[in-house]
């Protein structure tokens, strides 16, 4: 049943993306209601399909694609909720296909690892904070990509296509720093909880993850300071955002890929 729901969610994610794309490359009126409804339905089915095995097994399996699918679920949920009042439909074009791909990979490559033990409150709070921080900062990365595209089109005076559905540049820039502010705060709390509740955050199997996470935090924190002190925005801010989130992706998925796929230590 969970697999069937996941397949339907994938199809809804992709069809919602197609409907949003059709508003860019055709003269059709914006189908916000259709796009939003299909995206919300896809996210709901995604959540149910992810939760069903957890309820059956009594614990969460923190495999590479299992966690990736969970992060995609959190990202989709956050963007759907945020899009109720903010013009974030442009982010659907990147987030929904990503969610569909990660959900498909989780279906095709199920984990062979044992279910995780029942964590204490402290470790559980660290895990939840980390996942939500990754999710918010991933949304910020997509926003940074859209901002780069918008700046490029404006620079070359291309005002058709995707430019017709994007909010004004100032709105896009403000949304980016709102997401960065929330994401960096959550990442700070996740790092602090890791130092407090994990036994040895600099243990050999966690060292590269910790170092990359701290580098990402340093880059994003400096960007927030530079925005406040020097007024950094636009392409410069977008590139720093992508660099910081890139290190964050390496921190988790790089280590999981090496351990579970390359070294086969899952």
Secondary structure of the chain as H, E, C letters: CHHHHHHHHHHHHHHHHHHHHHHHHCCCCCCHHHHHHHHHHHHHHHHHHHHHHHHHHCCCCCCHHHHHHHHHHHHHHHHHHHCCCCCCHHHHHHHHHHHHHHHHHHHHCCCCCCCCCCCCHHHHHHHHHHHHHHHHHHHHHHHHHHHHHHHHHHHCCCCCHHHHCCCCHHHHHHHHHHHHHHHHHHHHHHHHHHHHHCCCCCCHHHHHHHHHHHHHHHHHHHHHHHHHHHCCCHHHHHHHHHHHHHHHHHHHHHHHHHHHHHCCCC
In angstroms, the Cα distances linking 228 to 117, 177, 210 are: 43, 10, 27
pTM for this entry: 0.81
pLDDT number for residue 88: 78
pLDDT number for residue 62: 67
* Short-list 115, 241, 92, 89, CA closest to 171: 89
Mean pLDDT by 10 residues, the chain (266 residues): 92 92 66 86 94 74 77 91 82 91 87 54 81 92 91 76 71 90 95 84 70 94 95 93 93 64 51
pLDDT number for residue 266: 45
pLDDT number for residue 210: 86
pLDDT number for residue 90: 78
CA end-to-end distance (rounded Å), the chain = 26
| Phi/psi of residue 26, nearest 5 degrees | -130, 175
Q: Which two tokens stand for residue 28?
A: 């059709």
31-43 burial: b if 16+ Cβ within 10 Å, else e? beeebbebbbbbb
């Amino acid at each position: 049943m969970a697999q069937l729901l996941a397949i339907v969610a994938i199809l809804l994610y992709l069809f919602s993306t197609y409907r949003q794309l059709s508003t860019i490359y055709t003269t059709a009126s914006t189908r916000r209601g259709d796009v939003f409804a299909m995206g919300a339905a896809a996210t709901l089915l995604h959540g149910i399909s992810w939760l069903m095995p957890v309820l059956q097994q009594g614990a969460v399996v923190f495999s590479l694609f299992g966690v990736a699918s969970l992060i995609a679920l959190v990202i989709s949920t956050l963007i759907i909720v945020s899009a109720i009042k903010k013009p974030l439909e442009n982010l659907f074009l990147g987030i929904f296909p990503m969610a569909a791909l990660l959900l498909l990979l989780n279906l095709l490559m199920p984990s062979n690892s044992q279910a995780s033990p029942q964590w204490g409150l402290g470790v559980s709070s660290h895990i939840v904070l980390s996942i939500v921080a990754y999710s918010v900062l991933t949304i910020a990365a997509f926003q940074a990509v859209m901002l780069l595209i918008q700046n490029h089109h404006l620079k070359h005076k291309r005002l058709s296509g995707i430019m017709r559905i994007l909010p004004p540049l100032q709105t896009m820039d403000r949304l980016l720093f709102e997401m960065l502010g929330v994401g960096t705060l959550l990442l700070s709390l996740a790092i602090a909880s890791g130092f407090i509740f994990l036994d040895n955050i600099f243990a050999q199997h966690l060292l590269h993850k910790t170092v990359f996470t701290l580098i990402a935090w340093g880059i994003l924190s400096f960007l927030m300071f530079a925005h406040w002190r020097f007024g950094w925005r636009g392409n410069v801010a977008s590139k720093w955002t992508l660099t910081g989130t890139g290190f964050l992706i390496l921190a988790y998925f790089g280590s999981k890929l090496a351990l579970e796929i390359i070294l086969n230590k899952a």
